[in-house]
Amino acid sequence: MVVMTVEGPSIDPTRPSIARVYDYLLGGKDNYAVDREVGDVFLRDLPGSVAIAFANRAALTRAIAEIVTTTDVQQFIDPGSGLPTADNVHQVAQRHAPESRIVYVDNDPQVLVHGCALLEQNDRTRVVRADVRDPEGVRTHPDTAELIDFDRPVAVVLSAVLHHVNDEEDPAGIVRHWRDHVPSGSHFFVSHFRSGDNAETVAAERTLQHTFGRGRWRTDEEIASLLDGLEILAPGIVPAPLWRPDKAADPWSACGAERELSAWERLIVAGLARKA
């Protein structure tokens, strides 16, 4: 058994949490009335927007499976991991490669509590209390150092997190730090809100900025620039449903066709990059 202690601020049920709102939109139960109030703005006023959350989660699951089945990478760092849900990174990775090691990172007290409870019996995972904006603190944390061998390739999972880092907080610098401290052969999965220059983008961005003071939609070019110095693998930075779709689960893909995506599905993109 791995004993983990969670220190830091207690859970505040009176203030909305990005992780708990996301949990609510995915149909989870680890949220409070204040989180559901924010989530309902998307469900009620921006119908169809919940597709963003589901498209992102499905792309993340495919990416983790792709990494462990097609490369030698069996180490994962997941900054801004959010609340546990179905098919978490460790579950997908260890399903294909039981030796896989995963470090989850978050600074939300509820994420830490639930993460530690979920992983109590899993000695190849850790939950680290740290901020995604402090990659050096994550990298040098004792739990990270205990589990991750930085002499071997690592997968850095930046799933739906960099769009919560405002420009002045240097999201590109976060990726650059990881790029500079992992060896060749390491992989980076990124998913990100994509600016559509439309009413949906403006309304969704306004809601997040008003509620959390963060939430930055970026263009395809801006998102690709976050991966500067890395080789972006095929099919590039594309809408999440189109990133290496599961042909067995998608009848359109199975017959070689591309289904028409909703406006919301086009507002979340995904990509996988490699350090040469």
pLDDT in tens, 212-247: 777 788 999 999 999 999 999 999 999 999 999 987
252 has pLDDT over 60: no
Residue 199 is encoded by which pair of tokens?
């009413």
Site of tokens 């399903």 = 95
Q: What is the pLDDT of residue 132?
A: 93
CA triplet 95, 76, 222: central angle to 5 degrees?
Answer: 120
Where is pLDDT greater, at 92 or 2?
92
109 has pLDDT over 80: no
Range 20-46 average pLDDT: 81
Q: What is the pLDDT of residue 225?
A: 96
Range 265-276 average pLDDT: 94
- For all residues of the chain together, what is the average pLDDT? 85
Cα 104 to its chain centre, rounded Å, is 11
**Residues facing 187 on adjacent strands:** 155, 274
Q: By percentage, how much of the chain surpasses pLDDT 70?
A: 89
**Helix axes of 50-70 and 18-25: crossing angle, nearest 10 degrees:** 90
Q: What is the pLDDT of residue 73?
A: 98
160 has pLDDT over 80: yes
* Ramachandran area for residue 185 (φ above 0: left; ψ -120 to 50: alpha; else beta): left
Q: Among 3.40.50.300, 3.40.50.150, 3.30.300.30, 3.40.309.10, name the CATH number for the domain at 18-274.
A: 3.40.50.150
Torsion, Cα of 118, 121, 122, 127 (10° steps): 50
Distance in angstroms (rounded) separating the CA atoms of residues 219 and 46: 21
Q: What is the pLDDT of residue 41?
A: 80
